[in-house]
């Protein structure tokens, strides 16, 4: 019995010593070393790693905070979600805000949806893109209409992401906005919208807006009254 316990005990000691070494590196004067330590801690789930990341979360270097945000996405607990939401909402660095959205996406928690919806209006397109992808990953229907508004984003990458996320959520309220997306100036946006429509409806009218809209007016006649052709 004792022999059977020793390997587990040895592993625990190794894990603790590894975390301690990474915690010490988080206190380094070199930002690259702190970033590497934060990245490594993301692969270690548990209270000790989570606490170390949270304690280092106010690092003055944006690159370090970005790595911490990504690593927190692999850690459980309300405190980590609170920190990621704070990053997403308040951090001055757009790369950190985008990383926070990615971290929240990895956690797939509906409690993160309101903050991610707010981030769809971030001044930085990369943050809007990350928030859009995160909402698709979580799959809450409450994000359908906010994502529909991003189908008019100045960034074609955000428009494509919004269309793809709406397809993943698969809420029928996405159908009309996606049909209008077939008139988008960007070919890739039109392509993503068409694939989304095919997946959501099991219907295929190609890229012909008029045919899709006539089908929509027939199938969703009361909802169609709210839209201008």
Per residue in 78-114, pLDDT (tens digit) is: 999 999 999 999 999 999 999 999 999 999 999 999 9
Q: Output the pLDDT for position 206.
A: 94
Gap between the Cα atoms of 137 and 168, Å rounded:
8
Residue 66: CB atoms within 10 A of its CB come to 25
Architecture of domain 139-229: Alpha Horseshoe (1.25)
**Residue 85 CA, distance from chain mean position:** 12
Instruction: Report the chain's C-alpha Rg in angstroms.
Output: 22
**Confidence check: pLDDT of 15 > 70:** no
Over residues 202-228, mean pLDDT = 87
Sorted by where each begins, the domain ranges of the chain are 15-106, 139-229
Task: List, for residues 176-195, the tens digit of each pLDDT value.
Answer: 999 999 999 999 999 999 99
Say if residue 75's pLDDT is above 50: yes
Same fold, 15-106 and 139-229: yes
Q: State residue 228's pLDDT score.
A: 56
Whether this prediction's pTM lies above 0.75 is answered by yes
Question: What is 15-106's CATH number?
Answer: 1.25.10.10
Give residue 16's pLDDT. Answer: 75
226 exposure class (CB count in 10 Å sphere: 0-12, 13-18, 19+): exposed
Tens digit of each residue's pLDDT (9 = 90 or more) over 141-172? 999 999 999 999 999 999 999 999 999 999 99
Exposure on the CB side of residue 111, measured as CA atoms within 13 A: 9
Cβ count near 118 (within 10 Å): 14
Name the pLDDT band for 45 (thresholds 50, 70, 90): confident
């Amino acid at each position: 019995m004792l022999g059977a316990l020793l390997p587990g005990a040895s592993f625990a000691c190794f894990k603790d010593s590894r975390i301690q070494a990474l915690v010490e590196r988080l206190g380094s004067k070199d930002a690259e070393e702190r970033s590497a330590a934060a990245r490594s801690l993301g692969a270690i789930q548990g209270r000790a790693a989570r606490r170390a990341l949270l304690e280092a979360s106010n690092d003055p270097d944006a690159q370090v905070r970005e790595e911490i945000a990504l690593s927190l996405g692999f850690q459980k607990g309300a405190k980590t979600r609170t920190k990621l939401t704070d990053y997403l909402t308040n951090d001055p660095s757009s790369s950190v805000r985008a990383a926070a959205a990615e971290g929240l996406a990895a956690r797939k928690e509906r409690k993160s949806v309101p903050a991610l919806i707010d981030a769809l209006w971030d001044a930085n397109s990369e943050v809007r893109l990350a928030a859009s992808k995160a909402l698709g990953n979580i799959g809450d229907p409450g994000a359908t209409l906010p994502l529909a508004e991003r189908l008019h984003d100045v960034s074609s990458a955000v428009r494509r992401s919004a269309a793809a996320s709406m397809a993943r959520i698969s809420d029928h309220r996405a159908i009309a906005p996606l049909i209008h997306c077939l008139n988008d100036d960007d070919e890739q946006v039109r392509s993503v919208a068409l694939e989304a429509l095919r997946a959501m409806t099991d219907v295929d009218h190609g890229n012909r807006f008029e045919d899709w809209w006539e089908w929509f007016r027939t199938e969703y006649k009361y909802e169609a009254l709210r839209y201008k052709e």
